[in-house]
């Protein structure tokens, strides 16, 4: 019966990871998948998360029961507060419908299903060029169309704001626009605050539906409030609903626990949150019944227990500063080596990734000749750099660029 099921190529990033794992060269470096690594290249359990896990173990009420369809309420509530801000008028006015999801990807999926079912103005989702590769299938799998808007200016290694704004203007009114809330993946390049205002005003003028994908809050600048600035500005000035897909994979380092949330923020004076929540719960019921409990319980603790919250905010600074230091180290080494090209963009970008500008063949050479693994579009996960390997990486880039 299934003999005609066609074989398809595996996911490129996961294939990269598996080639890295098979590589026996001792000096190999993994700059592939975006997961934080400590200064020894090892996965890092955040101290705040360790403490939260201790609290859960000591809690006599802790159990492995099913969660409600909408998720673990203390988590969902605290997640909405951290992304929208403690003083959010949308929250105070009860204009937000929130539900726990299977991390950021699950949140995007739910957003896609919500759009497909209830948004009648358009079926076209505009994604930045380039964007996180999974953005395309996550919308297309539900029958939505995808298109791209200008983002990365390859010549100047900067934001192509002029064409970005033109594309917002030229898209049919009411289109769906996916905006990376901060730490744009893959370029690590975010609009300035002035540019964000221009973008949001253009979205407002053209009646588009914005979807903020927030996978790196606190990871970009080390400050939760800064990294939610654009999104909160959107909530303040836009008159349309706003969709928010929130992940705690990176900022709490709970990648495999699949901890996230989806929020629908309604405009002022609208009040349909109960109905929207009921629909979101029904989607969950039909797809996976109820969300995973453990990560939500851990993250609820780091968000709400005051001492853990302080520790978590310190952990965010630890991660973002270590990454920044490695950006500077890599740029400085390339400058010292007089590697052809300008490398300042590595320092100007933020978050987990650097869009290095290396070509496909240079990336291939780094892998075969130097055991350095990064995505073929030249995206490097800077978290994979540390003081033990950054010199090897810089010298290898130098060699590949001159080859």
**Which stretches of the chain bind ligand PMP, using CB under 6 A?**
34, 103-105, 132, 180, 185, 213, 215, 247, 249, 255, 260
Nearest to ligand PMP of 95, 180 (CB atom):
180
User: Measured from the CB atom, is 88 or 185 closer to ligand PMP?
Assistant: 185
Q: Which among 319, 397, 379 has a CA at the least distance from the CA of 33?
A: 379
* Distance from C-alpha of 356 to C-alpha of 157, rounded to nearest angstrom: 9
**Residue placing its CB nearer to ligand PMP in the complex, 34 or 253:** 34
Query: Nearest Cα to 99, choosing from 235, 333, 287, 370?
Result: 287
Q: Look-up: residue for tokens 């928010």? A: 244
Q: H/E element holding 333?
A: helix 306-336
Q: Which two tokens stand for residue 85?
A: 């801000």
183 vs 400 by CB, closer to ligand PMP: 183
Cβ pair 375, 353 in contact under 8 A: no
The residue (of 80 and 394) whose beta carbon lies closer to ligand PMP is: 80
Contacts of 203 (CB under 8 A, 6+ apart): 168, 177, 210, 234, 238, 240
393: helix, strand or coil: helix
**Closest separation in Å from C-beta 352 to ligand PMP:** 8
With beta carbons less than 8 A apart as the criterion, state whether 373 and 32 touch. Answer: yes
CB of 183 to ligand PMP, least distance (A): 8
Q: At what angle do helices 306-336 and 390-402 cross, to 10 degrees?
A: 40
Compute how many other C-beta atoms are within 10 angstroms of the C-beta atom of residue 273: 17
Instruction: Determine contact, residues 277/99, Cβ cutoff 8 Å.
Output: yes
In this complex, which beta carbon is closest to ligand PMP, that of residue 179 or of residue 400? 179
Question: Are 30 and 370 spatial neighbours (Cβ–Cβ below 8 Å)?
Answer: no
Q: Rounded to the nearest whole angstrom, what is the least distance from the CB of residue 173 to ligand PMP in the complex?
A: 26
243 φ, ψ (degrees, to nearest 5): -105, 140
Catalytic, 173? Answer no
Q: How far is the CB of 88 from ligand PMP (least distance, A)?
A: 22
Catalytic hit among 30, 213, 227, 315:
213
Per DSSP, the three-state class of 35 is coil
Give the residue with the Cβ less far from ligand PMP, 177 or 255.
255
- Is 132 known to be catalytic? yes
| Least distance between ligand PMP and beta carbon 277 (Å) | 21
Nearest residue (CB) to ligand PMP, 164 versus 212: 212
Complete DSSP assignment for 271-311: --HHHHHHHHHHHHHHHTSS--SHHHHHHHHHHHSHHHHHH
Question: Residue 398 and residue 403: Cα distance in Å, rounded?
Answer: 9
Active-site residue, selected from the candidate residues 28, 157, 250, 297: 250
Has 38 been annotated as catalytic?
no
Structure tokens at 262: 């989806």
Which residues are CB-neighbours of 377 under 8 A, at least 6 positions away? Answer: 130, 186, 355, 360
As annotated, the active-site residues are: 132, 213, 250
């Amino acid at each position: 019966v299934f003999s005609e099921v066609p074989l398809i190529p595996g996911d490129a990033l996961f294939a990269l990871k598996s080639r890295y794992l098979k590589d026996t060269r001792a000096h190999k470096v993994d700059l592939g998948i975006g997961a934080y690594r400590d200064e020894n290249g090892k996965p890092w359990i955040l101290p705040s998360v360790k403490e939260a896990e201790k609290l859960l173990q000591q809690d006599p009420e802790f159990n492995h029961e099913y969660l409600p369809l909408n998720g673990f309420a203390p988590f969902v509530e605290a997640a909405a507060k951290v992304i929208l801000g403690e003083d959010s008028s949308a929250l105070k006015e009860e204009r937000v419908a929130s539900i726990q999801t299977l991390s950021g990807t699950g949140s995007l999926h739910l957003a896609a299903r919500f759009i497909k079912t209830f948004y009648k103005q358009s079926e076209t989702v505009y994604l930045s060029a380039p964007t996180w590769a999974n953005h395309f299938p996550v919308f297309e799998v539900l029958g939505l169309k995808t298109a791209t808007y200008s983002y990365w200016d390859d010549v100047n290694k900067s934001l192509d704001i002029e064409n970005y704004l033109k594309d917002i203007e030229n898209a049919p009114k009411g289109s769906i626009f996916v905006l990376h809330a901060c730490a744009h993946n893959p370029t690590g390049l975010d609009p300035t605050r002035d540019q964000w205002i221009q973008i949001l005003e253009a979205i407002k003028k053209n009646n588009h539906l914005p979807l903020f994908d927030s996978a790196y809050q606190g990871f970009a600048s080390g400050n939760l409030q800064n990294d939610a600035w654009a999104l909160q500005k959107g909530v303040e000035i836009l008159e349309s609903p706003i969709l928010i897909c929130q992940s705690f994979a990176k900022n709490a380092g709970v990648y495999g626990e699949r901890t996230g949330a989806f929020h629908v923020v309604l405009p002022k004076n609208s009040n349909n949150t109960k109905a929207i929540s009921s629909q979101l719960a029904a989607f969950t019921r039909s797809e996976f019944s109820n969300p995973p409990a453990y990560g939500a319980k851990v993250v609820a603790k780091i968000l709400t227990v005051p001492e853990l919250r302080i520790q978590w905010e310190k952990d965010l600074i630890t991660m973002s500063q270590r990454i920044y230091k490695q950006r500077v180290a890599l740029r400085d080494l390339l400058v010292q080596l007089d590697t052809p090209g300008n490398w300042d963009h590595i320092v100007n970008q933020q978050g987990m990734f650097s869009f290095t500008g290396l070509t496909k063949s240079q990336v291939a050479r780094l892998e075969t000749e130097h055991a350095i693994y990064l995505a073929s579009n030249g995206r490097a996960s800077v978290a994979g750099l540390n003081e033990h390997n950054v010199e090897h990486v810089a010298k290898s880039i130098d060699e590949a660029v001159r080859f």
